[in-house]
Structure 1
């Protein structure tokens, strides 16, 4: 839908008189749309009016803004193209000859949502990061350290899921490990020593998290593996349409906790 500007009275007359007695063409004030159009069309019109007011485009699917775009807008997540869309997923141990560069963790709340961080540039991702030299190939140790530094969350039941093979054209191939764990404790938000910033911490439905990360086809296998691991950890299945919520700065009464935890 585009804003085509104004239209003269004579032009309106020519258009509406082209089909005498037909209701196919009509010019209607917005406030008189009720009863003339169904829900999806009304939602499109209202979105178009908001876009004109805000001076920016809107994207809808079947009359609704996709959850990923709604979440990005509400929580200040910037759009970006992730090279992970070209990585291939392997649910197997990392081959000995392949260096492990990073390890990221699907951290599950008791209600089945997962933790994502948002940095001060609006970039969102799963907590985790680069292995330090002293950690050698210990992805589990790197995962615990990185999750604690980025999100101040302690893990329980950490387990290996698989890896993504990254083969950049300008460098050697490496593995980017994925792991899964449940939340053991949520601490007060603090400065990440690697970036010097305090990250926002969100709880997000798992498949929506994969969309926000922009991993494309490579996300399907790891999401399925993460959900399987969550079941084995006794984590509840995420409710359909579960909301995206920010974990409080102080870490107390974090959304998604079960009573008594």
Structure 2
């Protein structure tokens, strides 16, 4: 016997096991899984299928008695021909009957859909993909910002929420129709909805060659906990490091550019900057330019205010260096730049910050 109440009954009224089972079966939901996979440039794997006009993440419905992780691994092997262990969940989404377009004949009751982290795939693993004949027409790796145009609205929201949860590293996000119940900073600024600029320039330690003009001076500005300051566009989450274009008053000194720009963009005051290296930009319309990267410690952060050059008021946030790299599409040179950043962090005797949710720097924090 069960004492769980049926609708309309007084609490504590006993039910037979048969009645209780029938009650729970009447509220049954569909159950499904999907897997978020990226390549080494942060692009997301989506599948082209013949039975739908929109793209899909790998995944599908669970078989009877199958756990979500088992189902996700099975679907990956069936659809892409690869056996991949899945041990980390990124999101659990309650897809309501109103949140998915289905035909009335399907009598869609709602679904609980688990999103798992399929990891970052290198070129060898990508080359091993064998799409299931007759089901998967092909796969593509696409910029996160392209998902809303390629997927159904609920699928795109879910995939982007899962990607933000992966970057934050704080555990699975609980979603309703792809929207998080407890939005993080990355959710609130709609991170990854603006296409990231592709900047696959090789990293070079040390100063730029003499005679190569400096196009940009950006800084890795360390907080005492080993995280760094990153600036986010409040409308689309587009990220940049503090810094900018040299002005005449900087007297061709990248350190002076960084000190000035950090104050103007983020009200951030810093220690004397140290040169990390540079990126040779061969694609600039005015000819080859250098993009300098420097490092410094944050000494004081004042109240936020608009950048006088653009009128933009950025969302100031603290992130681990690894999270910062994931917000950009810097290509193979990103790893070398990250190594240079950590060498300077160690020289400053700052800790290696563990992955944690990217957090805003508020005016209260700076008071």
Q: Quick check: 1:206 aligned with 2:321? A: yes
Shift of 1:147: 0.7
Match runs of 1:163-242 below 5 Å: 163-168=278-283, 170-239=285-354, 241-242=355-356
Deviations 1:201-242 (A, max 9, x none): 011111110110222222111111111111111211112x22
Q: Which of 97, 108, 111 is 2:211 aligned to?
A: 97
The corresponding residue for 1:30 is 29
TM-score (normalizing by structure 1): 0.73
TM-score (normalizing by structure 2): 0.54
The structure whose RCO (Cα within 8 Å, separation 6+) is larger is 1
User: Aligned pair in 2 of structure 1 residues 141, 191: CA closer, same or farther (>3 Å)?
Assistant: same
Structure with greater strand percent? 2
- Is the 8 Å Cα contact of residues 104 and 177 (structure 1) preserved in structure 2? yes
- Give the superposed CA RMSD: 3.3
Stretches of structure 2 that go unaligned for 5 or more consecutive residues are 1-26, 33-61, 73-88, 101-109, 111-152, 170-183
The corresponding residue for 1:244 is 358
Shift of 1:91: 0.4
Shift of 1:157: 4.2
The corresponding residue for 2:95 is 49
Q: Quick check: 1:119 aligned with 2:233? A: yes
User: Aligned pair in 2 of structure 1 residues 139, 65: CA closer, same or farther (>3 Å)?
Assistant: same
The corresponding residue for 2:159 is 59
User: Aligned pair in 2 of structure 1 residues 55, 232: CA closer, same or farther (>3 Å)?
Assistant: same
For residues 45 and 125 of structure 1, what CA distance do their matches in structure 2 show? 27
For residues 353 and 91 of structure 2, what CA distance do their matches in structure 1 show? 33
Deviations 1:84-132 (A, max 9, x none): 2x21110021111210111000111111111111124432111110001
The corresponding residue for 1:20 is none
User: Aligned pair in 2 of structure 1 residues 152, 64: CA closer, same or farther (>3 Å)?
Assistant: closer
User: Aligned pair in 2 of structure 1 residues 114, 169: CA closer, same or farther (>3 Å)?
Assistant: closer
Q: Please give the secondary structure, in 1, of the residue aligned with 2:95.
A: helix
- Is the 8 Å Cα contact of residues 80 and 214 (structure 1) preserved in structure 2? no
Q: Quick check: 1:154 aligned with 2:153? A: no
User: Aligned pair in 2 of structure 1 residues 192, 88: CA closer, same or farther (>3 Å)?
Assistant: same
Q: Please give the secondary structure, in 1, of the residue aligned with 2:249.
A: helix
Q: Please give the secondary structure, in 2, of the residue aligned with 1:161.
A: strand
Instruction: Report how many residues are paired.
Output: 223
The corresponding residue for 2:83 is none
For residues 120 and 105 of structure 1, what CA distance do their matches in structure 2 show? 20
Stretches of structure 1 that go unaligned for 5 or more consecutive residues are 1-27, 254-261
Q: Please give the secondary structure, in 2, of the residue aligned with 1:144.
A: helix
Q: Please give the secondary structure, in 1, of the residue aligned with 2:337.
A: helix
For residues 90 and 227 of structure 2, what CA distance do their matches in structure 1 show? 30
